[in-house]
Structure 1
């Protein structure tokens, strides 16, 4: 189960590292701001600082998911479980919020939230088996 959790957490983290890259490093590139539904380069420039900050949230959650799954896999199950589950639960919650933010966000929310949800389920199954 630890291997599955690590794989799912790594995929969750990879997606959020990619989102970090888009939001914090490549936000003003047309392919990126168009992907996020902005209408112009001026809109991208106006929202650049907000996207930069939001991208780092994604990066920090990715780091939490990875470190949590590694700690969990190394045998510190309580600490790893808590950190890893918290990080992927935040990722999934953000995907739910994305769905509520406007029309046309369901696909993006599915991309953002699928692997975190899988990781949550695996963590919870592992926890129930251990009990």
Structure 2
């Protein structure tokens, strides 16, 4: 088990990651048609309605993943810290895999793929040392 300072750092990073995921999910769900956000997508702006359903679902997935990260981070400081570690580790490994999948399927999104995977990688390393 980690010392108090390390656990606190992991909790903060996990909560930040969760808030980021929830924020991205909200943007994907509510603001897909905003022209300022088109650069985050490879979809043709004229086909926004075509990709709306997939993006809407993806937004909800990110919100759920974010809630999982926050719950796992909070549980780290409680009586069942190992369960919190497992939940947070699952979310982080999942997003590292998703970042890799994003890069492998659409190289133009390499920046988003890195953004998707770096913080979870840091949290995973901290959880496993």
TM over 0.5, yes or no?
yes
Gaps of 5+ in 2: 1-5
Give the TM-score taking structure 2 as reference length: 0.88
Aligned residue in 1 for 2:34: 29
CA distance in 2, matches of 1:121, 1:20: 25
Task: String of CA shifts for 1:29-83, please: whole Å, max 9, x gaps.
Answer: 111233213221x311110010000111111111111101111112312211111
Gaps of 5+ in 1: 126-131
**1:20 maps to which of 2, 22, 25:** 25
1:7 aligns with 2:18: no
Q: Structure 1: which 4+ aligned runs deviate by more than 3 Å?
A: none
Out of 91, 94, 103, the residue aligned to residue 87 of structure 1 is: 91
> Is the Cα contact below 8 Å between 1:12 and 1:115 reproduced in 2?
yes
Q: Is the 8 A contact 1:61 1:90 kept in 2?
A: no
Contact 1:11 1:115 in 2 (8 A): no
CA distance in 1, matches of 2:88, 2:96: 12
Q: Supply the RMSD in Å over aligned alpha carbons.
A: 1.3
TM-score in terms of structure 1 length: 0.87
Aligned pair count? Answer: 124
Instruction: Report deviation, 1:92.
Output: 1.5
Aligned mates of 1:101, 1:22 — CA distance in 2: 22
- Structure 1 partner of 2:126: 122
Q: Pick the aligned partner of 1:43 from 32, 44, 47.
A: 47
The corresponding residue for 1:129 is none
Secondary structure, counterpart of 1:105 in structure 2: helix
User: In the aligned structure 2, how far is the partner of 1:67 from the partner of 1:84?
Assistant: 8
Alpha-carbon shift at residue 123 of structure 1 (Å) = 0.8
Deviations 1:90-115 (A, max 9, x none): 11211111111122121111111111
